[in-house]
Structure 1
Amino acid sequence: MIQAGDSLGDGTGGQSIWGREFEDEFHKRPFTVSMANAGPSVNGSQFFITTVATPWLDNKHTVFGRVVKAMDVVQAIERKMEKADMPYEDVKIINVTVPEF
């Protein structure tokens, strides 16, 4: 699992793009993009990407996306971590595509 979205860089996260907190949802597949939180229904700006099925997270985190390409990149980021669970080098998401349904 990799986690991001802590805009302050101090572990406290930030406000969600909706300007408020929201409820948790289900997810059971790898490569889901979900909201990290500090408890039930307190989602902010931090998020994580799973790399394996994580059914123990159901009803605890809101799923809002899925990685559909470059899964190898996600796995490479996960492998390059130091003991403090931080990447050795900064990793930046430069572009995100949201397809229309």
Structure 2
Amino acid sequence: MKKYTSIFLFHQKAQTAIEYILLLSAVTAIVLVGFKTYLVQSRKASKEFFNEATKAIMGEKNRCGNGKCDDFEDNTRCPIDECKCGDGKCEGLEDNINCSSDCAA
């Protein structure tokens, strides 16, 4: 048994393999701790970035209930604004900005 123990401890190939396994374990532990720490921060930052990118590409969404008949609003989509755009009459909250088809300047 003593002979096999001394061969195992002083054999260079086995020692190198064990060192690589320990090094790999240490690096894996560091990476996992880093993921746990920084994953929440990176998720929050990426969500903010993509929300800003969406606003830049698509523009601000129309707000129902702002008192104006914005684009794509009508009585079925936004009855609170009382949109009558497209009926040929310029009345109520309609003006040449939010209902140019009815209120031509």
The structure whose residues are more often helix, as a share, is 2
Could you tell me the TM-score, scaled by structure 2's length? Answer: 0.19
Task: Give the TM-score normalised by structure 1.
Answer: 0.20
Instruction: Considering fraction of residues, name the structure with more strand.
Output: 1
